[in-house]
Structure 1
Amino acid sequence: MRLRIDLAYDGTGFRGWATQPGLRTVQEELEGALATALRVPRVILVCAGRTDAGVHARGQVVHTDLADDVAPDELRRLPRRLNGILDGDVRVRRCEVAPEGFDARFSALWRRYTYRIADRPELVDPLARASVLTWPRALDLDAMNQASQVLLGRHDFASFCKQRPGATTIRTLLDLGWSRDEWGYASASVVADAFCHSMVRSLVGCLISIGEGRRPVSWSEKILLAERRDPGVTVAHAHGLTLEEVAYPADDELVTRAQQTRARRTSLD
């Protein structure tokens, strides 16, 4: 039986999602809580997006395969039991039997992140310091939106990713837009089929340089076309970033979507 779990966490006290020896991670904490709640020796989780150290999530999705069926009553009680075991910076929102072919990682259509910046003194809130970046200069969101347009679509984002051996950096950026949210923060909504390591934070760092006037609007296209890391692009701090949502297709399209995603991206065609 495959179990789908939806959860949220404050990434401040974690060294990211993925298990690392001797470090506190979301994966290790949740796997341990599940093993305790289900009375099994070990649970292995697969997530939709491996968030970095300090990055938060409201809409993370994971799955795990269990050898035996979980009784319906036990499944209904599972979120409450898990939240009783976990520390308060991780909350399980829902547990349910996943439909046939569901894969939290490979079945996903897209992931949506938000990056929030307080770029004026009156916006700085000490209660939000763990989830909003404080920036000392006002940002021109019109310029940032203009610079974002050339980044949309299917590209090799090598200029904005930390390279991993054997991993492709070709991605499809579906949306990247800046606006003022209800608190007045400069807020970026970033949507893609998938993200490579540090991609969102590098995109934000590039656009901040444009928004504060240190770089021209055309700089984002120049960086993209170079297809190599540029030391002039600063990777924005992790704490301003939140994984908000992961979207999946209809149940009868899950297997096809997973097959498409597993096919290695080798070209921009």
Structure 2
Amino acid sequence: MAWFSQSQFEVRLEWGLSAVNYLAEEVDCAVIVDVMSFSTCVSLAVDNGARIYPYPWKDASAIEYGDKIGAITASADRRFSGKGYSLSPTSIRHISEGECLVLPSPNGSAVSFKARDMGIAVFSGCFRNLYATAEACRGFERVLVIPCGERWPDGTLRPSIEDYAAAGGIIAAMGRDNCSPEARAAVAAWQFHQQQSLRHLFDCSSALELRERGFAEDVALCLDVDTAKLANRLHGDFYAADLAQAHLTPHLG
């Protein structure tokens, strides 16, 4: 047992791609938490009965990939104003049932695929589907929750409080006692922000960035709590509703 593995606990938490590299071999499922905005976009699309194909690069290869699989590719530019979709959650609210959308997102997509390649179940979680994600994890003995964080201009990881609080909310909703200290600390962060109705998160670094760029509506969507009823599970190359829940809960589109 490595000192960093948290392997004596059922529910574990660690940050970003390194969490997959060092901890995922010893768990049964992982929850990828990238609130602003990958996981929120996934949740909005799945609510409406669409599929999201994560893609880890924001370049022309994303369009080529979409053409290859017969999917629309979201613009990597949030300011994209033409027909179609972008990485802005607002642009995805009214996606149609049955649509397939490639979502180029270096953080959420890269971590999702790396976790999938470990041969474990992979979910995308956020504030919107907090309880549904926790419910989907109940059938797994060992769960790794991964807040993705953001990036500094030099490319290094910037831990983000919104991902940490959402990860803690999912862990709290699981209702398990055997959680690592890292997981318990995230629960404490969630409980504080929950008591404050998440109002402080509207002023966190990630939210301020979006607001300054004119995406205040995206921030509000990302900080909605439990407005979705479906867990989002990675089925090979795409996120869709968790099949165990989908037959019980109709999509919200």
Indicate whether the TM-score tops 0.5. Answer: no
Determine which structure has more spread, i.e. the larger CA radius of gyration.
Answer: 1
Between 1 and 2, higher relative CO (CA 8 Å, sep ≥ 6) is seen in 2
Q: TM-score, normalised by structure 2?
A: 0.26
